[in-house]
Amino acid sequence: MKETIISNLQAVHQRIKAACALAGRDVQDVQLLLATKTVPPEKIRMAIEAGETLIGENKVQEFRDKHEALKDLRVERHFIGHLQTNKVKDVLKYVSCIQSLDRLPLAQELDKRLQSEGRRLDVFIQVNTSYEESKFGVAPDAVEYLVKQVQAFDTLHIKGLMTIGLLDVEVEKMRPSLSLLREIKTRLGMEHLKLSMGMSQDLELAIAEGSNMVRVGTSIFGNRFLGKEIWNENEIIS
């Protein structure tokens, strides 16, 4: 099992390196985030001990369940799933960044809790660039308004923008939902923002369109079973 995970990690890093070379980008400008939904702690530990430093969960319950088993590891933890306001207090115990901030009420609740804890938090604004009703995220034409609202909170630091691109067998159908996030960053006049986009299926395309962080699960840990259905990271925020 360990050998497989290490081999998969090497393959993913090689894909990232090749994509950066093709796009004329520095490979150091692209981080790999391990999407660890339903992945047992022992597998996550193997990946971290192999040198990975960034993981992302999309359910507060999973962070809580895995915390004891992984608390000794030096790893950065992000929340990458849809976050309900009533879960804010719990998730703040485990994460240094929330990548799915998509509405003002959530920002307000985060600010309230962070003020009480006397801390600041990195956040990504999640944008629904594929315009799919099944996906969360602020509408592309409402991003600027939400960014201005979030900037008013001293406890929240906007580190970047996040999206799940349209997944399709045809590359050119996938590209617009990724390039749109890059265009939004430019439109905001905030070129320092990081872009979190790209998963197992589309990481090369995402890197070509400017991604600074790819969220990969299936290509590293394989398909995971949830009941009768097979899960992959394409569904991490659906």
pLDDT of residue 233: 45
How is domain 2-235 classified at the CATH fold level? TIM Barrel (3.20.20)
| Residue 30 to residue 17: CA distance in whole angstroms | 9
Confidence grade of residue 223 (pLDDT, cut at 50, 70, 90): confident
pLDDT of residue 53: 97
| Residue 213 to residue 162: CA distance in whole angstroms | 9
Q: Which residues contact 86 (CB under 8 A, 6 or more apart)?
A: none
The continuous run of DSSP H or E covering 43 comes out as: helix 41-49
Q: Which residues contact 47 (CB under 8 A, 6 or more apart)?
A: 5, 9, 34, 220, 221
Whether pLDDT at 237 is above 70: no
The continuous run of DSSP H or E covering 231 comes out as: strand 229-231
pTM of the model: 0.92
Confidence grade of residue 168 (pLDDT, cut at 50, 70, 90): confident
> Tens digits of per-residue pLDDT, 31-82?
999 999 999 999 999 999 999 999 999 999 999 999 999 999 999 999 999 9
CB atoms < 10 A from the CB of 208, how many? 20
Give mean pLDDT, residues 204-231: 81
Question: Could you tell me which of 61, 48, 57 has the C-alpha nearest to residue 80?
Answer: 57
| Residue 82 to residue 214: CA distance in whole angstroms | 18
CB atoms < 10 A from the CB of 217, how many? 26
Residue type, 161: L
Ordered by start, the domain boundaries in the chain are 2-235
Q: In the structure encoding, which two tokens stand for residue 238, read together?
A: 């659906």
